[in-house]
Structure 1
């Protein structure tokens, strides 16, 4: 399974999802590769922290930022059960190459007016990519949502907006990834929330719900 995490707007939580997904897949027994196609190279920072903390490197990772990304993916994906691609927060060659080869694109969206406007562009880019990758599907996940109940209306507004568009091969996830301090704390220790959280903390519950919904979608 080849999963691309994409959104042309920065700060939507792409890297957080990519890293935690790679950790979770590895803990579940998949041979996993995380491709860092983001110029910020946050995945490198994470793996360096993990190595310096003497934690086992659960997954392999490579950084690739150029026009040969597509060929690299096609070569490497045969060697792994799961490949996760973290792309940068802009409309880039790397993002479009990832969409052209992925099985599933995960599009994290913050529930805000600005992110909704950017989402329209991402939907168009994904539909263009399907010309070359007709079997691809996309999952939109509400990301970095505030757990403040007074902001629940923004989440509902975004959910209603997406549902009303009746998109083909683009689906809105029921799961929500909330803004949680545990994600930052886990990253600073070189860990995923599946490793860091104990006793069913909120971040772990959120991510497990997201992961279970993703697995169910893949298997259907």
Structure 2
């Protein structure tokens, strides 16, 4: 059983979209998946309610615990009943976020290009180091999400360079571009592999992320898939 915490104290970096994508892919693998929504905005919870309206997709259980003690108790009670638990916590320092960092096997910290988003890495660095000081170590993957599509984007490069100041993060050797198919699929509670027609670029990026979360070393993932032809489509 693996618990994945998707966390950043900055909102608007795509945490809930990623939570739905990851949960959808785990479910497609035939795994029993629980999503714990620790965000008072309830984005992932509402999306997965949409998923539950159809019998065409494997089910994903979702529960909401916005407070740390409740989240800890729920995780303790449910961790033996599921193959994977994905915890989606809100964009602020909260007891739910601290609880998620206390129990996770992997932490995924998505961040976006832009000064405000990059500045939040410092606060998350402190939260992560505090968590790591009180428990067994766990990998912390920093993912540039909602990236600009231009291959030579200065904003992307500046955001990635900011990670050099914080050794707690393991920078993933790929980015996920701001693409409409991610948001559209997530709103339905689906991964981009579950919608038709598929967007090959979005699927390619998600496949790379899933390889890392499934345990493949990040340095092996960068060139592990055939590149997707095409330019910089963000549709």
TM-score with structure 2 setting the length = 0.85
Q: State the SS of the aligned residue for 1:68.
A: helix
Deviation at residue 69 of structure 1 after TM alignment: 1.0
Q: Which residue number in structure 1 is paired with residue 226 of structure 2?
A: none
CA RMSD in angstroms, aligned pairs only? 2.0
Deviation at residue 199 of structure 1 after TM alignment: 5.4
Deviation at residue 44 of structure 1 after TM alignment: 2.2
More displaced stretch, 16-25 vs 58-67 = 58-67
Distance 1:138 1:49 in 2: 30
- Superposed CA deviations along residues 53-96 of structure 1, whole A, max 9, x for unmatched, are 44445221111112321121122112111110000111100000
Give the total of aligned pairs: 216
Pair 1:82-2:92 in alignment: no
- Superposed CA deviations along residues 123-160 of structure 1, whole A, max 9, x for unmatched, are 1100001122232221000011121446x111112222
Q: Which residue number in structure 1 is paired with residue 34 of structure 2?
A: 33
Distance change (3 Å), C-alpha of 1:214 and 1:188 = closer
- Superposed CA deviations along residues 159-205 of structure 1, whole A, max 9, x for unmatched, are 2221x33614x301112111101112213433211211545521111
Query: What residue ranges of structure 2 are gaps of 5+ in the alignment?
Result: 221-235
More displaced stretch, 18-27 vs 57-66 = 57-66
Question: Following superposition, which runs of at least 4 residues in structure 1 exceed 4 angstroms of deviation?
Answer: 197-200
Distance 2:10 2:197 in 1: 32
1:108, 1:140 within 8 Å by CA — same for their partners in 2? yes
Q: Which residue number in structure 2 is paired with residue 209 of structure 1?
A: 208
Deviation at residue 117 of structure 1 after TM alignment: 0.8
Distance change (3 Å), C-alpha of 1:86 and 1:47 = same
Deviation at residue 48 of structure 1 after TM alignment: 2.1
Equivalence map 1:144-183=2 (5 Å): 144-149=146-151, 152-162=153-163, 164-165=164-165, 167-168=167-168, 170-183=169-182
